[in-house]
Structure formats: structure tokens, C-alpha cells
């Protein structure tokens, strides 16, 4: 079959042989259903594909917006791979469906054993799409803009030198809140509350909650606790002018160097990331599954297929 108009962008972790074999099988299944793959140029050469004429992948560079015209971005890998897919799809509003072939894979919607279900859902267009908040950040030095970027999980302003302490002042809605020395400060979305912010002692926030998190990392101060602020709050962090250099890091993927005296301004992102939901199960189930939380003895209402909480 040729002349298909349906396309899916495939983003994957090519370093694992099992992922490459899985991707080849997915490509063959899509082709049989009249769906053509779009792939990243740097990833195509790692795959051995056996596809019918007219279904060779369309190759694109890994750049924002290169998913334009695709139905879905299918991500095979862990959270790092999903963040790559989100960066490609955010600008053009293409939803991301993650299948975890890595470790925890908290952002992924499906696991390896439910890959077939995820592929079936794409073929049948049987899925829901939800918006996830992002954070926009702009770094300035006086009147000079050093750069601007965004994050799905978190924006981290951290010390550039391991042996130095970063001195910062925090600002919320135009008012100073606290100054202290620290390793860094994280500004996270609800989606990112289970990532770096969680490791730094921040709260877990359900994705449906609209809020921004401010989480100091190893702060040397009495009042340097995590804060949850309104989704439309304007946040800022100023690096002390006589202190050490810092780095602005977004999702571990995009960085901006911050000299002493720099200021970073943050707010709710103008564009959300769209993510595919398949089964609609509660976020609490994901927490329990991903972190293997103990729930033995629970006697509440069961969902279909629920195997948690029994004492036997």
C-alpha cells in the first residue's frame, strides 16, 4: 500500500539492541496498517528495516517542529528520550506517547509489556490527549538578554563550580522572599515534581493541579523550604553580584551560563506539551507502580485488573 497520509514520528533510545529490534517491529506493524514512520536522521542508520515500497521512513533532523503533520510522537525509551520527543512536538502541538523501555520511566504512559496496546491505540486513534504545563525562562544580565528557553520538568539554577556555594535571592510576584546560599534552586511543574524536584525534597503534585514549585537544593538557611505557588505567578532568582557563577539548566537538555549578578525570570510556559493517555487510570496508581510503594492491607474500592492491597 502506498500514498498513505498518516504519519507517526518515532523517537527512540538507539543504544539498546532490544529497543532497535522493537522499533523495527513497530515500523513493520504500522506499515501493514498504512501508517508511515517519520524518523530522526541520526537514528535511522541504527535500524534494520524490512518495509514494503512506499513506506521507507521520512527522515528529519532532531529540531523543534519537525513533527508537524504527524498524528503522534511515539517514544521508545526512558524519560530522557521522552523529553527529546517533547522538545520536537511542543511547538507544533503533536502529542507524545511514551513506552518505557528504560528504568523508572515515570513520564511514559505504557510499559514494554503493553507496547502492543499502545500501537493498537495509535492505529485506531483510540486515545486521549492532555496538556502538561511547561515553564518559560529568560536569563538577563542588566539590560542584556543572555538567552531564553523552557522546560517540561524543571528549570534548575545551580552552581557552576562544585566547591563553591551559590548565593541567590528569590522573588515571587515582584517581591523578595528569601536569600541564602545553596547548591541550586529548582522551579518545577507538576509533571516535574516526581523528577529532580522530588529528589531535592519537593512535594509530589498531581498533574491535574495547576501550580509552580520552587524547591531549594541543599540550602544553608532556616527558611528555605519548598513552596507551591499559583500557576500564573512570576518567579525570579538573582545570582549574587559578588558570588560565584551559575548555570541555568532546563530538563538536563538546554543550558545557559549565568555570570555573577545575572537574573532569571520564570513563568508558566506559553505552550504546553501534549501527552497521550491510554487507560485513564488514576495518578496514584502510577505512583505506586513506578516507586513500588507498599499498599498491603488496603481495603478500598478496586478498579478492574487491580491486584494491589491484598494481604495474601
Active-site annotation, residues: 79
Q: What is the pLDDT of residue 307?
A: 57
Cα 200 to its chain centre, rounded Å, is 17
Helix (H) or strand (E) holding 19: helix 17-32
**156 three-state secondary structure:** strand
- Average pLDDT in the 115-140 region? 96
Cα 95 to its chain centre, rounded Å, is 12
Structure letter (DSSP) for residue 58: E
Q: What is the pLDDT of residue 1?
A: 39
CA–CA separation, 103 vs 78, rounded Å? 6
Cα 244 to its chain centre, rounded Å, is 29
Q: What is the edge-to-edge ordering of all strands in the sheet holding 184-188?
A: 227-229, 212-217, 184-188, 154-159, 246-250, 254-258
Does residue 310 carry a pLDDT above 60? no
User: Averaging pLDDT over each range in 17-21, 224-228, 278-282, which range is the top one?
Assistant: 224-228
- Average pLDDT in the 19-40 region? 93
Residue 133 CB neighbour total at 10 angstroms: 20
Kindly report the average pLDDT of the chain as a whole number: 91
CB 135 within 8 A of CB 266: yes
Q: What is the pTM of this model?
A: 0.90
CA–CA separation, 20 vs 270, rounded Å? 35
Amino acid at each position: 500500500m502506498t500514498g498513505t497520509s498518516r504519519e507517526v514520528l518515532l523517537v527512540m533510545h538507539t543504544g539498546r539492541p532490544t529497543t532497535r529490534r522493537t522499533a523495527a517491529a513497530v515500523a513493520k506493524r504500522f506499515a501493514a496498517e498504512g501508517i508511515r514512520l517519520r524518523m530522526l536522521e541520526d537514528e535511522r542508520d541504527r535500524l534494520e528495516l524490512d518495509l514494503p515500497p512506499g513506506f521507507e521512513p521520512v527522515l528529519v533532523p532532531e529540531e523543534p517542529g519537525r513533527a508537524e503533520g504527524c498524528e503522534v510522537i511515539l517514544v521508545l525509551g526512558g524519560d530522557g528520550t521522552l523529553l527529546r520527543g517533547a522538545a520536537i512536538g511542543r511547538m507544533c502541538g503533536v502529542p507524545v506517547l511514551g513506552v518505557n523501555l528504560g528504568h523508572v520511566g515515570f513520564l511514559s504512559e505504557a510499559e514494554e509489556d503493553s507496547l502492543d496496546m499502545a500501537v493498537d491505540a495509535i492505529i485506531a486513534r483510540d486515545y486521549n490527549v492532555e496538556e502538561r504545563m511547561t515553564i518559560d525562562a529568560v536569563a538577563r544580565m542588566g539590560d542584556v538578554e543572555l538567552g531564553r528557553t523552557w522546560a517540561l520538568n524543571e528549570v534548575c539554577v545551580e552552581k557552576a563550580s562544585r566547591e563553591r556555594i551559590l548565593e541567590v535571592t528569590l522573588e515571587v510576584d515582584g517581591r523578595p522572599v528569601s536569600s541564602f546560599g545553596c547548591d541550586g534552586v529548582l522551579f518545577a511543574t507538576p509533571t516535574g515534581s516526581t523528577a529532580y524536584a522530588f529528589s531535592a525534597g519537593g512535594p509530589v503534585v498531581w498533574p491535574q493541579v495547576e501550580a509552580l514549585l520552587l524547591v531549594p537544593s541543599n540550602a544553608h538557611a532556616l527558611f528555605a523550604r519548598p513552596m507551591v505557588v499559583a500557576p500564573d505567578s512570576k518567579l525570579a532568582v538573582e545570582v549574587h553580584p559578588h558570588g560565584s557563577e551559575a548555570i541555568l539548566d532546563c530538563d538536563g537538555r538546554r543550558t545557559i551560563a549565568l555570570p555573577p549578578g545575572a537574573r532569571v525570570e520564570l513563568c508558566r510556559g506559553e505552550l504546553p506539551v501534549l501527552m497521550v493517555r491510554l487507560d485513564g487510570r488514576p495518578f496514584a496508581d502510577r505512583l505506586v507502580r513506578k516507586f513500588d510503594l507498599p499498599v498491603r492491607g488496603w481495603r478500598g474500592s478496586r478498579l478492574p485488573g487491580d491486584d494491589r492491597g491484598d494481604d495474601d
